[in-house]
Amino acid sequence: MSPQAQLVMIVWLPVVLYLFRNFPAQRAVVISFIFAWLFLPQKAGFSFPGIPDYERMSATCYSILLATFIFDVQRFTSFKLGWLDLPMLIWCICPFASSITNGLGTYDGFSQTLAQTVAYGIPYFLGRIYLNNLAGMRQLAISMFISGLLYAPLCWIEVRMSPQIHRWVYGYLDARKFAQTIRYDGYRPVIFMQHGLSVGMWMATATLIGIWLWQAGVIKQVWGISIRWLVAVLLVTVVLVKSTGAIILLLLGTTIMFTAKWFRTSFLMLLIIVSISSYLYMGATGVFSSERIAQVVSSLATVVEQARANSVGFRMYNEELLSEKARQRMMFGWGGWGRNRIYVENWNGDLVDISITDSLWIISFGINGAVGLIAIFGSSLLPALSFFWLRYPASSWFKPKVAPAAMLAVVITLYMVDCTLNDQPNPVFTLASGGIAGLVLKEPEKKKLKGDRKLLLKLAPQRRHQLN
């Protein structure tokens, strides 16, 4: 870690406190999360005994919690645990059960639980208490769109000159992953994220949000420029970052959007959630055989290039082996320390790890078992499902007040699709999941306004009597 990276991590806490002191709380939370994820250094921070490392996202979570205690302490009392919070609660405490059932001890259990809570539970909790209304969803959606516009020029630079911006700013670069950035006649940008896949997913998300904001009439201009031209810039950038999966998810999200707009149905969203759940069930129970995986690869080869289809097939073959081992500890998994991986003896008797864990689902299943797998995917899919099933049907998705929340519900669902193939954690999506859950658990704002109006009309005669 370079001196400038250390300096940035040290000053980040007072920066977050400054944001809370000078901006509305919702805006301060959104700016803190997005800026930290997009611009703070990779693999930089400080280690302290007994707590997770102080790195860019844990630093952001700690800073926001401290700022809340100082400037907005009553926000904590507004939180009430609801049924939609149960998957995230289970996901946070599941590592303790995994450690105990594997004989790793209570210390390891507490340590792993704390790390998982900081990585997932706190972002979700902050979304629950700060972004649990339509205004909060609007703030987050517009900020994600603008962040994509800010990232676009950086993507163009790295597409042409290779991923070097992190080295230019912070003085170091993860050279081990450099080979993965070479694509076609250029490079796949990484900028300040952990992988080019993360950049691709973020830019596709920002583009989808921009299209939705444009079509719903939420905003018409940014920086005096028509939103249609800005969306066009993001569309070109998504193609340039060379992430096939991100492009497919963008097309899928756009299809969901226009299906809701033209046919006023959320059926496609429901179909995707059911498909994800079915895929996880088949993967966890060992339904995928070599023959079925070969059929999947053959089908994919008709849509994408053969190399990409073979890559998916390799992952599925590997995940079937890992799933077979995970089923030996079906309920709570193998716990940490690489116990979920597959080892073989080499020629001199040493154990060699032959596992490749690319996707979040197989990592969750192997480490925390079926309980953890259901919990982590349920923490995002259940709020999204409840959003359109219980609160806001597709017919309301293009109303300017509802549209930002609707698009974020779609975005976190698409992120869960990506998590079936990749492991690229993004706490901003977790923040959005918490916001959607809080929005669903609250009384719908339209009904609340009607109730308030009826109450005022009922109390009006009494008020006039008191005045007389």
For residue range 297-353, list pLDDT tens digits in order.
888 777 777 777 777 788 888 888 899 999 999 999 999 888 898 888 777 777 787
Mean of the pLDDT values across residues 120-138? 96
Please check the confidence at residue 217 and state whether its pLDDT lies above 80: yes
* Sequence-ordered alpha helix ranges (H) in 301-390: 306-326, 360-386
Please check the confidence at residue 138 and state whether its pLDDT lies above 50: yes
Give me the torsion for CA of 409, 411, 413, 415, rounded to 10°.
-150
Which range is least confidently modeled, 37-51, 72-86, 140-154? Answer: 37-51
Mean of the pLDDT values across residues 169-191? 77
pLDDT tens string 72-104 = 899 999 899 999 999 999 999 999 999 999 988
pLDDT of residue 444: 65
Which range is least confidently modeled, 105-119, 151-165, 300-314, 364-378? Answer: 300-314
pLDDT tens string 249-297 = 999 999 999 999 999 999 999 999 999 999 999 999 988 777 778 887 8
pLDDT of residue 173: 81
pLDDT of residue 458: 59
Paired tokens of 180: 């993965």
Helix or strand holding residue 46 (H, E): none
pLDDT of residue 67: 95
Rounded to the nearest 5 degrees, what angle is found at the Cα of 424, between the Cα atoms of 324 and 162?
125
Can you tell me which residue has the tokens 């005022």?
A: 456
Which range is least confidently modeled, 157-161, 356-360, 430-434, 442-446? Answer: 442-446
Structure-model confidence comparison of residues 216 and 459, the more confident one: 216
Reported confidence tier of residue 468, pLDDT bands at 50, 70, 90: very low
Asked whether the beta carbons of 383 and 440 are under 8 A apart, the reply is: yes
pLDDT of residue 264: 92
C-alpha 131/C-alpha 140 separation (Å) is: 8
Please check the confidence at residue 49 and state whether its pLDDT lies above 90: no
pLDDT of residue 453: 53
* Sequence-ordered alpha helix ranges (H) in 72-195: 74-77, 86-101, 106-116, 122-130, 134-161, 165-170
Average pLDDT, the chain: 88
Please check the confidence at residue 184 and state whether its pLDDT lies above 70: no
pLDDT tens string 408-455 = 999 999 999 999 988 888 999 999 999 999 999 986 655 554 554 554
Residue 279 one-letter amino acid? Y
Say what the pTM is. 0.90
Partners of 352 in the beta sheet?
A: 344
Structure-model confidence comparison of residues 465 and 330, the more confident one: 330
pLDDT of residue 301: 78
pLDDT of residue 286: 85
Kindly provide the b/e burial profile for residues 290-322, where b requires at least 16 CB atoms within 10 angstroms of the residue's own CB.
eeebeeebeebbeeeeeeebebbbebbebbbeb
